[in-house]
Amino acid sequence: MGSIRIIALPGLPLFAPGDDLTGAIAEALERAELALADGDVLVAAQKIISKVEGRAVVLADVAPTPAALELAERTGKYPALAQLILDESQVIMRARQGVVIARHLLGHVAANAGIDASNVADADGETVLLWPVDPDASARRLRRQLESRFGVKIAVVISDSLGRAWRMGTIGTAIGASGLGTLIDRRGETDLFGRVLQATLVARADELAAAASLVIGEAAEGTPVALIRGASYIRDETQGIGPTLRPLNEDMFT
């Protein structure tokens, strides 16, 4: 019988640039009397990765270009925020009053190019958080440091709450990963009746991020990291989130 546990790591501090995230996570695990075990998956909210990596930007420091002023005019976004969205994007896919959907430099499609203005330590709302420059590398670093500290093999997923084209509400989604095959390819396996499965490619990293979002950010005090124990995945030390991004030449909705 398969059984999986999702555990919110308690008592993590607020993070600032340069903080030792690995140390803080290790301490939180120890306080909870949890030792990492082989096969564990740690899901960390993008927000804390961005914070320790110094990705907060003061909007007042951003000088909007004419393109940003035009985007701001069209959408009602602050011009400086519009500039950051442009800076973080390959292309703006849709823009209308209150909404900007962009393809981020990393290839993910996200509202505001993933820029989030909540939970940043600036009460007047003038600081925003950009995504990590390379979330796969952030995940790899965290994975290796935790593996070496605990003497285990684990996977790490960096998640953000993203919207979807035809559905309301956000869902935890992987924007970086290390230690696992982010897609599981079942094509060629057979079903219960011996027939070959045609189109079963499973977005395992996204499923893990979504499962973690049942606890991440739930408590008022903030729970940015979840431990998932017992989930099956394929160990892969080289793959990142890339295979989960649909190639542009297969994209039918740009």
Residues 39-58 that bind its own copies (CB under 8 A): none
Smallest separation, CB 8 to its own copies (Å): 4
Residue in the block written with tokens 């011009």? 79
Binding piece for its own copies, criterion CB under 8 A, among 3-11, 15-23, 54-62, 143-151: 3-11
Residue carrying the six token digits 């009746």: 193
Handedness of CA 109, 111, 112, 116 (dihedral sign): negative
Q: Does position 168 bind its own copies by CB under 8 A?
A: yes
Return the biggest CA–CA distance within the chain: 63
1 binds its own copies (CB under 8 A): yes
Which residue's CB is nearer to its own copies, number 63 or number 168?
A: 168
Q: Which of 2, 66, 151, 188 binds its own copies (CB under 8 A)?
A: 2
The minimum distance between CB 49 and its own copies, in angstroms, equals 17
Q: Does 204 bind its own copies (CB under 8 A)?
A: yes
User: Which residues ranging from 13 to 42 are in contact with its own copies (CB under 8 A)?
Assistant: 14, 32
State which of residues 38, 73, 122, 237 lies at the interface with its own copies (CB under 8 A).
122
Of 44, 231, 239, 240, which lies in the binding site for its own copies, with binding defined by CB under 8 A?
231
Using the minimum distance from each CB to its own copies, give the nearer residue, 62 or 228: 228
Gap between the terminal Cα atoms of the chain? 42
Nearer to its own copies, 17 or 148 (CB): 17
Q: What Cα–Cα distance (Å) separates residue 224 from each residue in 15, 57, 140?
A: 10, 20, 18
Residue 94 interacts with its own copies (CB under 8 A): yes or no: yes
| Count of CB atoms situated within 10 Å of the CB of 120 | 18
Alpha-carbon span 119 to 18, nearest angstrom? 18
For residue 71 the two structure tokens come to: 């985007």
Burial category of 106 from C-beta neighbours within 10 Å (exposed 0-12, middle 13-18, buried 19 and up): buried
128: contact with its own copies by CB under 8 A = no
**Residue among 197, 234, 235, 237 that touches its own copies (CB under 8 A):** 197
Residue 4 as a binder of its own copies (CB under 8 A): the answer is yes
Distances (CA, A) of 133 to 101, 141, 150, 196, 232: 19, 13, 27, 40, 29
